[in-house]
Structures are given as structure tokens and as C-alpha cells.
Structure 1
Amino acid sequence: MSSTHRRKKHPRWYFSLRSPYSWFAYRDLSEKYPDVLDRIEWIPYWEPDEDLTRLLAEAGVTLPVMPMHRSKNFYILRDARRWAHARGWQVTWPVDRAPHWEVSHLAYLAADEQGMGRQFVDLAYRARWNQGLDLAERTTIAGIADQLGLDPAIADSVDDPGLRKKGVDCLIAAYHDDAFGVPFFMHGREAYWGAERVGAFVAAVRGEVWDGTSDAPFHAPPFTAAPEDRHTA
């Protein structure tokens, strides 16, 4: 991880290997705006296990993470399918039998140390959203490592104290950037949340004027307040 000063200065995005919306943002960035993806800092974000939660608490950090309600989970499933099908993408919805997100995200940090972080993310998203594989399974991570020519032992990164400390630093960075969900983008002091904000973030990084269009596959009609509506938000 970079210093606090560098995080404040450089554009960055917080992504999760769990989130379909992070996957959508990654695909839009890699397929439409690869120059921006090359210029930004990548910081993983996930729901920490008990040990990392304790370490975060010792640092005075409490992440805005809470168990997902069943109704919200089913909504996300349906909504993600709409997003994917609108783009012509096929999705195989994974089953997370025993979620432990340190397994994949700390393996990403290990791959990134060897200059293969971006490639790891690409294959991890393919494994999860195209093949329906469980990223908490070390055999899944070992298979990704093998495809990249990395030591399959990175599947055991979750047991590495140094990588766990590095993971804590990532989550602390998210806390100080006020990240509350993924994908979450920062450019200077400006924050952008959600896959539909990719275009706005890209314009900021490129120093362009955003034209107001969204990267979402659906375009809602513009909101116009009724003449008698004089309430302010």
C-alpha cells in the first residue's frame, strides 16, 4: 500500500471480488477505458473476518459492513442479471458455501506483489461470474495461480501475517476515504460510488468534462419536479 499522502493524491478505486457491480465496473474500465485502469491505484475491499475485524478495531476503525438482508440479496441477484443480460454477458451465479473473503483478496495482494495483480483479478472474476466457482476455496485460487504461472501456494496467503497486515492497511485506507460500498472511486477529494459512475470517474481522471451519461445499461428518464414542488433536498 502507498502512503496516506499518495492515496490522497492519486486516483484510485476500491473493488471487491465478491461484488457483481465491481465486476461490471472492471469490465467497463478494461474494455472501454484501459488507459484509466492503468493509471489508477487498485485497492481491494471486502468484509473482514474476526481476526481482521479485531485488528481494525485496535486501529480505531469500524467498517460500515453489516449482514445483507435476504431481500436485498435476492434483489441484487435479479438486478445483476439484468445488467449482465443488457450487455449480452452470460452469468453463472456462484454459491458461497462458507464465505471467507481473505482467501481471494489476500491472494490478490500476493499476486500483485509479483506484478500479476490485474491478471489475477481478471481470472478471479471469470472464475466467479462465468464459471460459478467459489473464491473461498483454496483449490480455486490455486487454479488461478497456476494459469498465471504463479506458485499455487498463494492460495495460502490468508495464513501469511504480512499479507494480513497489508490487507488491514487496505481496509484502513477505505475507511479514511469514507468508502461504504463497491465499486468506489476517488479522484482528489471527489468520490464516485457505483458501476454507473465509471464514466464520471474516467472523465475526472482524464481531465475531461463529464457529459452526464451513465455506464449503466439502463437509462432512466430525467427527473423533473412538478411546478408546485418547492421542497429542497
Structure 2
Amino acid sequence: MAGRAAKPPRFYFNLRSPYNFFALHDIERRHPGLLDRLEWRPFWEPDETTARLLDEAGGQFPYTPMSRAKQFYILRDVRRLAADRGLPLTWPADRTPWWEPAHLTWFLAADAGLGREWVARAGRARWLEGRDICDPATVVELAAEIGLDAAAVAAAPDDAALRARGAAALKDVHRDGVFGVPYFINGTEPYWGLDRVEEFAASLADGAPAPAARPEERELAVVGAGRTTDMSHAGGCG
């Protein structure tokens, strides 16, 4: 009897996190072929409609409010990381955060073979141009720039099929135990944060041993299921 086919390495991303933006910047420059080998999976804070669909599907979103002290730390940390990379970062103001338009648009982009292009365009807009990617009109404009249908993008938050795909994607977040981004998985081995990019890349190098789950890790995964605690650090965020 043939064994199960190995899952491709997975990359959980979102369009909010500066650490996700830096991780993509670093991979593009140091490991440009790696991004084509990954199964890209979106991760975002759901609105009320998506949260209800996720709950009905038996999933939970791993969200913990960020302390004020941590927010100020991240501001300083991100400034340092941007300077190290020579990036003229503009910190965005999320006055009315609504992440569905930008992330549901990713499904349309992926269907058109433009998933990476959309993540790159939205990332530049948010972090280098100071644009509000929670504004549906901005999302439509940016999506049209890479060749997506403006009407379909505008209608994405009201598209029941896209909403269902979004809830299914967030259920995968719950199933895989993802609690922040960037988050990479090779086999059963997880790598979280900007400071794990090189380790993850090395795990995919030719000749690297395939990671295997240990019994105690499987047990921990079951015990730790559900809402997470705030374990984030400078290498990644939710």
C-alpha cells in the first residue's frame, strides 16, 4: 500500500504584519526560488461574518489582544528592521481595520495565478506607500493594477463562496496550530517568525533530513488547542 504523499511546505501569511513583509523581502533576495515551492495560506483577523462561519465550521481564531507596552516595542523594532534593510517604511494608520477585502481578494488573485503579485502589491502599498488596505476602494484600485477584475474585487466581501473559502482557510490556521505570522511548516516541523526564515529555508535544502513528529509534540498539540496565549516576540506577530 502506497504511503500518503508528503504535504508541500506551507507558508501562512497576512497583509497586516510588518514581520511578514520583512520575511518576504528577505526570502526574495536570499532564496528567490523558495517562494514558488510553498503552499501559500492566508491568515487574518476575521470580521463578524467570517468569525461566525468559522465557528459554525468548528474552528477558532487564535487572537490575544496586544499590550500597550508591546505595541510601542514593535514600533521601535520595526523601525530598526526597516533601517537594516534600507526600506523607507511608512507606518500605516488602521483607523477602521477590516481585513476581509484585502485577504478575500487574495483568493481571486490566486485563482488568476496572481497570488504572489497581490501580496507584493498590497505589501508595498501598506508599508512603503502608507496606503490603507482596509479601505475597499483602495483594494479595488490596487487589485486592478495587477490585472484583477475590479467588479469582482469590489464584490468580494459579499460573495458567499469567497466567504466560505475564507472560513475554511482560517479553519486550517486552527488545525495547524498557527498563532502568528510569518509561519512556515515543513512536514510536521513549524517555524515561526522573521528570525526563523533561514532555518526554514535550510530545512528545504537538498539533502536535509525530513522532519518527523515526536510523540510528545503530538500530545502538546492536542493540549494546546484553542485560544492561544500571547507568546509572540519580535520575530513574528498575529
What is the TM-score normalised by the length of structure 2? 0.82
Deviation, structure 1 residue 67: 2.5
Which has the higher mean CA deviation after the structures are superposed, 175-184 or 60-69? 60-69
1:24 aligns with 2:22: yes
Which ranges in structure 2 are unaligned for 5 or more consecutive residues?
Answer: 210-234
Give the corresponding residue for 2:192: 193
1:38-81 deviations in Å (ceiling 9; x for gaps): 01000010111111111222222212112322222222111111
Q: Could you list the structure 1 runs, at least 4 aligned residues long, displaced by more than 6 angstroms after superposition.
A: none
What is the letter of the counterpart of residue 20 of structure 1?
Answer: P
Give the corresponding residue for 1:164: 163
Give the corresponding residue for 1:124: 122
Q: Distance in 1 between matches of 2:88 and 2:204?
A: 30
Give the corresponding residue for 2:202: 203
What is the letter of the counterpart of residue 183 of structure 1?
Answer: P
Count of residue correspondences: 206
Give SS of 1:206's match: coil
Q: Distance in 2 between matches of 1:146 and 1:85?
A: 31
Give the corresponding residue for 2:64: 66
Contact 1:141–1:152 at 8 Å: present in 2 too?
no
Deviation, structure 1 residue 206: 2.2
Q: Distance in 2 between matches of 1:155 and 1:29?
A: 31
What is the TM-score normalised by the length of structure 1? 0.83
**1:179-190 equivalence runs, <5 A:** 179-190=178-189
**1:92-111 equivalence runs, <5 A:** 92-111=90-109
Deviation, structure 1 residue 125: 0.3
Give the corresponding residue for 2:177: 178
What is the letter of the counterpart of residue 43 of structure 1?
Answer: R
Describe the shift of the 1:197–1:144 C-alpha distance in structure 2 as closer, same or farther (beyond 3 A): same
Q: Distance in 2 between matches of 1:157 and 1:30?
A: 29
Which ranges in structure 1 are unaligned for 5 or more consecutive residues?
Answer: 211-217, 219-233
Deviation, structure 1 residue 209: 5.3
